[in-house]
Structure 1
């Protein structure tokens, strides 16, 4: 007579040990990533924004795009305050917005200067035409 043994499980876990470890590692990794983002001041973004604001001022943004320049400068100041208060997410968002406002101001100033140059050139051509017509008569 042959005796057969039956293998039975008393409790079936829903996760195996390796699945549980993978899930725990994923959760821990996610927490570290989120904590790392929240704890780092956006110094690089702030520097990029300051450079963009300076470029816009150099391009004539204060004269030709005053509204955009004011917005960029105000948001940059707010970002500086948020960084001081360690509200890094808010500081990053404000610095990004200030950067784009400054870039718009710079492009607007460049466009206005180019438009003014075209008008000046057209005026010069018109004056030359008139002078040429006077000399022919």
Structure 2
């Protein structure tokens, strides 16, 4: 008698697991499809704002414009309740904005380096002029 109940108990347990998995998957998919990607939109807006405020329109114009355009498209998809597409566009816009921010930072660092090198060269030349003046004054005496 125990041999007959054990397979039935395992079969019932397996059936429950499959049913729970199916229900959980359905709820997960329904949750993703039915909810607006509010958090992603907020993160994306913040990233785009950072790209613009850091100077992205000057140093990474293409990437910044792409991020802004994709954000606008995502907002339109959100209004149309196409949440999957809105989320996809928002994610792309976020990454474009992050690329723009990093490119801007690199361009600013490169400009600062060039400015520092130019300042060093000017100081070096000024120092050489000062040394020449001292030599010519010494020769005149």
Shorter-chain-normalised TM-score: which range?
Answer: 0.7 to 0.9
Cα RMSD for the two superposed structures: 1.7
Secondary structure in structure 1 of the residue aligned to 2:30: helix
Q: Structure 2 CA distance, aligned partners of 1:130 and 1:78?
A: 54
Q: Structure 1 CA distance, aligned partners of 2:120 and 2:102?
A: 27
Secondary structure in structure 2 of the residue aligned to 1:72: helix
Structure 2, unpaired ranges of 5+: 1-7, 133-141
Q: Structure 1 CA distance, aligned partners of 2:20 and 2:129?
A: 88
- State the partner residue of 1:82: 77
Q: Structure 1 CA distance, aligned partners of 2:15 and 2:67?
A: 49
CA shift at 1:17, angstroms? 4.4
1:134 matches 2:129: yes
Secondary structure in structure 1 of the residue aligned to 2:36: coil
| Equivalent residue pairs, number | 125
TM-score (norm 1): 0.85
- State the partner residue of 1:3: none
| Further displaced range: 17-26 or 69-78 | 17-26
CA shift at 1:18, angstroms? 4.4
Structure 1, unpaired ranges of 5+: 1-12
2:15 corresponds, among 7, 11, 20, to 20
Q: Structure 2 CA distance, aligned partners of 1:107 and 1:73?
A: 16
- State the partner residue of 2:104: 109
Q: Structure 2 CA distance, aligned partners of 1:20 and 1:121?
A: 72
Moved over 4 A (4+): 15-18
Q: Structure 2 CA distance, aligned partners of 1:66 and 1:116?
A: 17
Higher helix content, 1 or 2: 2
1:60 matches 2:48: no
1:95 matches 2:90: yes
